[in-house]
Amino acid sequence: MSKRKGVYAAKVKRATHMLFFRRHQKPGVKGWELHKTLGADYPKVLDVLDDYLKNLDLQVKTVFEEEKTPAAKPTLEEYDKARFYVTLRGDLTPKEAKMIGWRIDDLAGLAVAISYIISKKGQAQRKDVEDLLCEKLPGWKVGLNIERYIRYGYLNQDDNAQLYLDWRTRAEVDQKALIDMLLNAEKQSTLPVASSKEGEEEEFDETGKESEED
Amino acid sequence: MQSVKNAKLGREKLQRIIEMCMAIEAHAVDPFMLDVDDIIKVTKEYFPEWEKPEDLNLDAETIHHLASVIKLQSEWVKHRSTSLYTDPFLLEEKITQTPKEDMVGVFLRTWHPIVELEQISVHSLAEALRYWETLLPLSERWKELAPDEIGTGFATRDELIKQRVLGDKLFSEELEKFWLELKETVEKKGHEGKMRYWDFVGAETYEDTVQRAFLTSFLITYGYATLEIHPLEELTFIKPFEKPQTRIRTEQAVSVPIAVTYDDWQKWRRGEMD
């Protein structure tokens, strides 16, 4: 192995450690942290890592500051301000979603809340979102669910009870695709989803996730 | 008379426009409810009437709020033209009509959850064990620090001076002497019975300067001198009193913190404190 390759292999390894293992309260790593540890060529290191992860159906996701994805090739300064995550490259089946800790109702509620907020130019009254969710979910659960979405970082709420999309939605959800697909929803066949009968115990280890978040 | 009536009407109209603009800015009203051309016409119509500053101010305020509304209109158009824009009513309709299974299906195709691990490594375990070995038991760490029993006794003045609790002179004597020095220095180097604070406290060494500043603070507190501060010029003067002021103050005493840092002392030495 050439010296250069060896250096890159070591940097990829270091980047993997930084990206996979949670270092702060929120997951992900800031560009400047990678810059400091890996050097100025860290975007290249991340490209190499991203290539490795392809086979595992994972990817290195870059979330630029204030969602301003640069039109041309991002500058090092823009990368330094961005946040990097490792996310799933493809998509989950409903069964898998359940396995990682989401009930179908909760996931549907999240999808509704996110798409409604997007349609309202990124902010909506909590009351409006609750009313919408109450049409299909029991009222007692709606409030709890919204609190959970906020706690996980999907939504954010200000003092005026306005809901916004938060960092996790920006990192995990392809917003444009979500809206496009939702509008074309009737054209696609209903996806096979594990049924969720009322009262059926299909909770995953919510306690585990809760304690981890808190 | 006609002109006065006209101006009054104009003022009312501008007030209403401002209120409307503010409602739009608060997102209570659709920004396109406001006809910008009409508003400009109104402001133009009444502009010649304005002579008083408050009327001109009102006119400027109207234009300012109008500009904010135009900005909101532009943002609205920009958002509509982006690929992310969807008619909220259409989307709401879709959301309510789509079965939750389909909703989840759609969401799962656009959701790429973050992968993160929380795992302990052999290295961190070894590190933790090393820490544990060096960690003192709680009984030792939280041991109550019982005060050493020391019998009461007498300390001589010499002992207190040695322990630097007391100076080698009586403090009041020292203060009086220092006050006389201040009066003499002001007489020689001062102007109008006062002199620059730093010119008085500044000494050959930084330690001496701090000592002088310390004593000066007592001169001021005990009514031997006062400070005169010119905040705009950032100048502080010290002014000795002919006799110590012992009368009871009627106004609230004010504490004036003056930093005597090493940098300031060096600046003073270089003559840069002006």
* Residue A201 lies inside a defined structural domain of this protein: no
* Residue B34 lies inside a defined structural domain of this protein: yes
Identify whether residues A65 and A133 lie together within a single domain. no
Edge-to-edge strand list for the sheet holding A58-63: A29-30, A83-88, A58-63
Using pLDDT thresholds of 50, 70 and 90, give the confidence band for residue A68: low
Domain boundary, last residue among B81, B116, B149: B81
* Residue B214 lies inside a defined structural domain of this protein: yes
pLDDT at A202 over 50: no
pLDDT at B124 over 80: no
Q: Which residue of A has its CA nearest to B97?
A: A186
- 3-class DSSP state for residue A149? helix
Domain boundary, last residue among A88, A108, A138: A88
CATH number of the domain that A184 lies in? 1.10.10.10
Shortest CB distance from B115 goes to which of A20, A177, A186?
A20
Identify whether residues A84 and A130 lie together within a single domain. no
* Residue B17 lies inside a defined structural domain of this protein: yes
Strand partners, A155: A165
The torsion defined by the Cα of A135, A136, A138 and A140, in degrees rounded to 10, comes to -60
The DSSP code for B113 is: P
pLDDT in tens, A125-179: 999 999 988 888 888 889 999 999 999 999 999 988 999 999 999 999 988 888 8
Domain boundary, last residue among B53, B81, B109: B81
Return mean pLDDT, chain A. 81
* Residue B51 lies inside a defined structural domain of this protein: yes
User: Which residue range is the domain that position B39 belongs to?
Assistant: 2-81
Chain B residues whose C-beta sits inside 8 Å of any chain A C-beta: 79, 83-84, 86-88, 90-92, 94-119
Its pTM stands at: 0.51
* Residue B153 lies inside a defined structural domain of this protein: no
Choose from A5-14, B3-12, B163-172 the range with maximum mean pLDDT: A5-14
The DSSP code for B46 is: H
Shortest CB distance from A172 goes to which of B91, B100, B113?
B113
> What pLDDT shows up at residue B130?
81
What is the number of alpha carbons within 13 Å of residue A170 lying toward its C-beta? Answer: 21
> What pLDDT shows up at residue A4?
75
Interchain contact, B117 vs A22, CB within 8 Å: yes
Residues counted in chain B? 274
> What pLDDT shows up at residue A56?
92
Number of folded domains that form chain B = 2
Cβ contacts of A100 on chain B, cutoff 8 Å:
113
User: Which residue range is the domain that position A119 belongs to?
Assistant: 94-191
* Residue B115 lies inside a defined structural domain of this protein: no
* Residue B216 lies inside a defined structural domain of this protein: yes
* Residue A76 lies inside a defined structural domain of this protein: yes
Identify whether residues A55 and A121 lie together within a single domain. no
Identify whether residues A169 and A120 lie together within a single domain. yes
Identify whether residues A82 and A20 lie together within a single domain. yes
Using pLDDT thresholds of 50, 70 and 90, give the confidence band for residue B204: confident
Q: Do strands A162-165 and A155-157 pair parallel, antiparallel, or not at all (unpaired)?
A: antiparallel
Interchain contact, B98 vs A182, CB within 8 Å: yes
Using pLDDT thresholds of 50, 70 and 90, give the confidence band for residue B2: low
Interchain contact, A171 vs B91, CB within 8 Å: no
pLDDT at B251 over 80: no
A69 interfacial to chain B (CB closer than 8 Å):
no
> Mean pLDDT, to the nearest integer, of B211-225?
87
pLDDT at A194 over 60: no
Number of folded domains that form chain A = 2
Domain boundary, last residue among B36, B59, B81: B81
Using pLDDT thresholds of 50, 70 and 90, give the confidence band for residue A191: very low
Domain boundary, last residue among A88, A119, A146: A88
What token pair was written down for B225? Answer: 């001198």
The DSSP code for B194 is: B
* Residue A197 lies inside a defined structural domain of this protein: no
Domain boundary, last residue among A55, A88, A121: A88
